[in-house]
């Protein structure tokens, strides 16, 4: 079992819906990440939070909006998504909020389908 | 900028065969190297990592990797694979920036 918990595990939504993905870790890690992963492809970095502040946005469309309410929680708010946004969304955390050179701990992911 | 190249995209082996998956990286500074595995339907998990010291690192489930600085390589090896090793394997390099993942190698082990 992973120490990074993501909910929901599966999500089906229409293009006009608003939904949120949630991620939680209690390892005291100070860096948290959102990745998008298509089948048989490597994870693509979307956002990085370091010490609860957004430090990296990899040119992600504004229909994805991250939020870090506290050091243990990371949300990804979704609005007006497109069918090509269907993918596995992974949350990860790592110990060091600054250097990002520590191993990452991944959640099971949320499998998102856009109708 | 850092980059990672995995040359073997698909590997098919029979049980008990030996495995070597290639990983080459490009990075100018002090490098940290990782191999992650993703079993079907499961989360990415760390197999092993190299930060410094002994260039031959041992990981979980009998895997090992060797860091060869002169070749910018960090190849993954296992002497005898099992059916349960069927998975996607990702090499990643980290440094001062976010770890960069290679495109992955799909390993299928036939019983």
B80: region left, alpha or beta (phi > 0 left; psi from -120 to 50 alpha): beta
Nearest-neighbour CA in chain A from B43: distance (Å): 4
Query: What's the pLDDT score for residue B27?
Result: 78
A1 has a pLDDT exceeding 70: no
Q: What values do phi and psi take at A33, rounded to 5?
A: -135, 150
Confidence of residue A96 (pLDDT cuts 50, 70, 90): confident
Q: B77 has which bridge partners?
A: B20, B64
Q: Chain A contacts of B32, Cβ < 8 Å?
A: 101-102
Six-digit token pair at A17?
């819906």
User: How far apart are the CA of B40 and the nearest CA of chain A, in angstroms?
Assistant: 10
* Mean pLDDT across A77-88: 96
| CB contacts, 8 Å: B33 with chain A | none
Query: Over the stretch A57-74, which tens digit does the pLDDT of each residue have?
Result: 989 999 999 999 999 999
Q: How far is CA A32 from the centre of its chain?
A: 8
B45, B94, B101 ranked by CB distance to A42: nearest: B101
pLDDT of residue B103: 94
Residue B82, preceding bond cis, omega within 30 degrees? Answer: no
Instruction: For residue A48, give the chain B residue with the closest CA.
Output: B98
What is the structure's pLDDT at B96? Answer: 65
- B65 contact residues in A (CB cutoff 8 A): none
What token pair was written down for A86? 């269907």
CA–CA separation, B45 and B23 (whole Å): 17
Q: pLDDT tens digits, residue range B30-88?
A: 788 999 999 998 889 999 999 889 999 999 999 999 999 999 999 999 999 999 999 99
Q: Is residue A19 classed as helix, strand or coil in its secondary structure?
A: strand
pLDDT reading at A4 higher than 80: yes
Q: Which two tokens stand for residue A102?
A: 């520590």
Please give the Cα distance from B105 to B111 (Å, whole number): 19
- Choose among A56, A103, A108: nearest Cβ to B98: A56
Say if strands B73-78 and B64-68 run parallel, antiparallel, or are unpaired.
Answer: antiparallel
pLDDT value at A40 more than 90: no
∠ Cα A48 B87 A31 (to 5°): 15
Q: How far apart are the C-alpha atoms of A102 and B46, rounded to whole Å?
A: 11
Best B65, B99, B104 member to test A by mutation, with max A CBs in 10 Å, is B99
- Give contacts of A104 with chain B, Cβ < 8 Å: 44, 46, 99
Rounded to 5 degrees, φ, ψ at B60 are: -80, 160
The torsion angle over the Cα atoms of residues B93, B98, B103 and B109, rounded to 10 degrees, is 60
Residues of B in contact with A48 (CB under 8 A): 98
Closest CA to A78 of A27, A4, A31, A11: A11
The whole-number average pLDDT for the span A86-109 is 89
On average, the pLDDT of chain A sits at 93
* Cα-based torsion angle of the residue sequence B7, B11, B13, B18 in order, rounded to the nearest 10 degrees: 20
């Amino acid at each position: 079992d992973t120490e990074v918990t993501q909910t929901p595990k599966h999500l089906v939504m229409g293009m006009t819906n608003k939904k949120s993905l949630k991620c939680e870790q209690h390892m005291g890690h100070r860096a948290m990440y959102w990745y998008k992963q298509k089948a048989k492809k490597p994870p693509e970095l979307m956002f990085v939070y370091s010490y609860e502040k957004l430090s990296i946005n990899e040119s992600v469309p504004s229909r994805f909006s991250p939020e870090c309410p506290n050091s243990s929680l990371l949300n990804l708010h979704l609005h007006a998504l497109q069918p090509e946004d269907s993918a596995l969304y992974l949350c990860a955390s790592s110990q060091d909020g600054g250097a990002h050179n520590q191993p990452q701990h991944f959640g099971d992911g949320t499998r998102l389908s856009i109708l | 900028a850092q980059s990672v190249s995995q040359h073997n995209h698909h590997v098919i082996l029979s049980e008990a065969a030996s495995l070597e998956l290639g990983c080459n990286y490009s990075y100018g500074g002090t490098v940290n190297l990782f191999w992650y595995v993703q079993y079907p339907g499961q989360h990415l998990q760390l197999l092993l990592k190299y930060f410094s010291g002994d260039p031959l690192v041992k990981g979980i489930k009998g895997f090992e990797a060797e860091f060869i600085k002169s070749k910018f390589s960090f190849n993954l090896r296992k002497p005898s694979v099992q059916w349960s090793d069927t998975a996607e394997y990702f090499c990643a390099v980290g440094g001062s920036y976010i770890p960069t993942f290679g495109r992955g190698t799909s390993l299928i082990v036939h019983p």
